[in-house]
Amino acid sequence: MKRCTSCGEEKNLTDFPKDRRRRDGHFPYCKKCHAEYQAAIRAGWSSTEWEANRAHHRDRYWKWRASDPEGTAAAIRAAAQLRRYGLTPEDYQRLLDAQGGTCAFEHCDRGPGDEKTGRLHVDHCHETGKVRGLLCWPHNLMLGLANDRRASLLDAIVYLERHPGPQVLKNLKVPSAR
């Protein structure tokens, strides 16, 4: 139970919007009061003020990005990881250290400094939303294209074992790369 700081009513936590920045994980206003508060703010905006502010904020945003491209990219990535997975930069680093600084796939030594794959990507279960590990781009893409279905990946293994090379079109020649 939690008391709304706006209406003063005691309500269940499910009646409060979520906010990861708060200690208890919820806004201090209940959903009803929060919606009224947001509506009042939006009603106070005129369309010309909104357009002027939008342009101003957009300009500030792009100046900020241009001032430190690597730093802003890292900040944007960190904010997205926190929003999507609840993963802080410290959590990411702990996970990376636990994996030995490389992709979580067995026999893969690609790491964050790899020229071809770049940084490691957060892999998560699409059903539960839980983080499973950090993967290089090719392995993360492969799992994503398989829609996390083990059957699809096993079918691919069976296919590769059954067809190690061109057997049906034996006379077909593949043009060499230039």
Q: Break the chain into its structural domains and give their ranges.
A: 2-44, 87-164
Cβ 26 vs Cβ 2: under 8 Å = yes
Whether the full predicted model's pTM is greater than 0.75, yes or no, is no
H/E run at residue 123: strand 121-124
Instruction: Please tell me the predicted confidence (pLDDT) of residue 72.
Output: 87
Report DSSP state, residue 20.
T
Angstrom distances, CA of residue 70 to CA of 59, 65, 96, 119: 18, 8, 19, 12
Q: List, for residues 17-33, the tens digit of each pLDDT value.
A: 988 888 888 999 999 99
Q: List, for residues 67-123, the tens digit of each pLDDT value.
A: 998 888 888 888 989 888 888 999 999 999 999 999 999 888 888 877 776 789 999
Cβ 142 vs Cβ 123: under 8 Å = no
**Residue 162, pLDDT above cutoff 90:** no
* Residue 129 pLDDT grade (very low, low, confident, very high; cuts 50, 70, 90): confident
Look up the CATH number of domain 87-164.
3.40.1800.10
CA atoms of 163 and 157, how far apart (whole Å): 10
Name the packing angle between helices 89-98 and 69-85 (round to 10°): 90
Residue with tokens 């990861």: 20
Mean pLDDT of 125-134: 88
